[in-house]
Structure 1
Amino acid sequence: MQKRIRHWWQEFANDVNATLAEVIALEDDAAEALEYQPNVIPGLLQTRDYASAIITTGFNAYGPDQAEALVTVREMRQRLLRDDEPLRYHAIATEAALRFDVGGPAVMREQMRHLNGEMALPNVTFQIVPFSAGRMAAQAAGFAILKFEDTHDPDAAWMEGVGGMIPRDSEREIRLYNRLFAEIASAALSPDETAALLRERAESL
């Protein structure tokens, strides 16, 4: 375990936009995070090479210098999983995230093995929604929900958009995201089944 470093992200003010800074600040105070990603491995479980391949590809691709800084930011966020009072993290991805060849076979093999290692942490739950789950495997947009120890603090939620993360702060929207996450989790493989699938995928690469 390690002591949490407060406000560390201010060091990266030139590389982190206002929305991401808000997410990081709230995440730092959260007791629990729920995240669903349809096509990629959720950020707090990504290896450095996998994160680099994601950040330097697509609509929001960044140049080498900023990409390097953002990969480092992602790694520092991951320390929440090993703090003295670690973040409880329940992440879900679909089987598509295992099949897309992100960064090449070696990167994907390392990522599959890393996931199995992270799942051994008592505060981490990871599930895969198989293609056979039908409509529940076809939820198109990723989203995350943050929950806080003080029950008077409302949940916070974000949806993934083409241009980045979009805050969702109405009570109705957050109730919908909580319900959708529960439905997706119920359609997903169990953690043990997920771990077996990860090992199978790693061996096939």
Structure 2
Amino acid sequence: MPPKQPTYIPSVRARRLARWLSDYRLQADLSQEAVTARLGWSQAKLSHIERGRNKATPTDVALMLDIYGVVSPEREAVIDLAEKADQRGWWTGYADVFSSPYVALEDEAALIGEWAPQIVPGLLQTPDYTRAIMRAGNLEQTSEREIERRLQARMARQTIITRAESAPRLHVILDESAIRKAIGGPTVMREQLQRLISDANRPNVTIQVLPTSVGENPGLDGSFIILRFAEEEDPDVACTEGLHGVVYLEDQRLVRRCNVAFERLRELALDPQESVALIEATAEQ
């Protein structure tokens, strides 16, 4: 059974706000009980806000800052963060497709590291390759119209790696089997491999292939994604994706394990130049 998902997963800004509010309370030497008694809140509400499990409204934040004695200009900066914490972006137009806040976190990431043992990651897929995967996984008999809508959303999502400003660095490690599966047939797969070769030339994209000659490795338990952010105070996010949807690893010990696993996979994989050469040879076959 997959881990139970939280009802609210905060954006990067919301996570930062939660940490700030907790830090301000501790600096004021106040317990959660003392704060909730003065605000007339339940302790659960404050605890959930500080742990990033509930949204903190600007009004709530202002009341908390009053108690903590936070003054200008810090006060205005924190309230401004609260107002922007759940600011929506390009994905708003695809609310019918994206049921998870993952795209919001991905959009704010400075580095996206992905271990892909089965298929080419969504950010690097061609439309025909994506369509073939969606049809293969269409267990609920979704209409072709809905599949095309999901395809359109995924293609829109890919623009983050080509945007002129603040494009994230993308580092993908593919298992060799992922480039040898003829998903969609030989023609579709050849086009997909050519797309990988082209994307590997982007300055912000690194692609490595883990050859089948490597036996035991840290990625045998399945795929995972690591998101790192520009601000050092924003902790990494790790998640997995599959039929169960997106599962977030909130425990920082598990996130660290993913980071260690990714580094080990990077060491075991072919270097970027060798990887592209293998992809080119596979495309020719």
TM over 0.5: yes
Amino acid at match of 1:43: G
Of residues 112, 119, 128, the one that matches 2:200 is: 119
- Cα RMSD, aligned residues only: 1.6
1:79 equivalenced with 2:156 (yes/no): no
Of residues 9, 13, 22, the one that matches 2:95 is: 13
Equivalent position SS for 1:134: coil
Distance 2:218 2:178 in 1: 11
Distance 2:218 2:237 in 1: 24
Conservation of the 8 A alpha-carbon contact between 1:81 and 1:87:
yes
| 1:128-139 to 2 correspondences below 5 Å | 128-136=209-217, 139=220
Greater relative contact order structure (CA < 8 Å, 6+ sep):
1
Judge which range, 157-166 or 33-42, deviates more: 157-166
Distance 2:270 2:218 in 1: 11
Of residues 58, 70, 74, the one that matches 2:150 is: 70
Higher gyration radius (CA): 2
Structure 1 residue 10 displacement after superposition? 1.2
Equivalent position SS for 1:121: coil
Distance 1:81 1:16 in 2: 19
So what's the TM-score if we normalise by structure 1? 0.90
1:56 aligns to what? 135
Closer, same or farther: CA 133–185 of 1 in aligned 2, 3 Å: same
Conservation of the 8 A alpha-carbon contact between 1:131 and 1:137:
no
2:7 aligns to what? none
Judge which range, 151-160 or 134-143, deviates more: 134-143
Distance 1:90 1:156 in 2: 15
| 1:1-205 to 2 correspondences below 5 Å | 7-17=89-99, 19=100, 22-58=101-137, 62-83=142-163, 84-136=165-217, 139-204=220-285
Give aligned pairs, total: 196
Amino acid at match of 1:130: P
Distance 1:106 1:161 in 2: 25
Judge which range, 55-64 or 35-44, deviates more: 55-64
So what's the TM-score if we normalise by structure 2? 0.66
Distance 1:59 1:129 in 2: 29
Conservation of the 8 A alpha-carbon contact between 2:171 and 2:207:
yes
Distance 1:26 1:166 in 2: 13
Closer, same or farther: CA 12–178 of 1 in aligned 2, 3 Å: same
Distance 1:124 1:170 in 2: 28
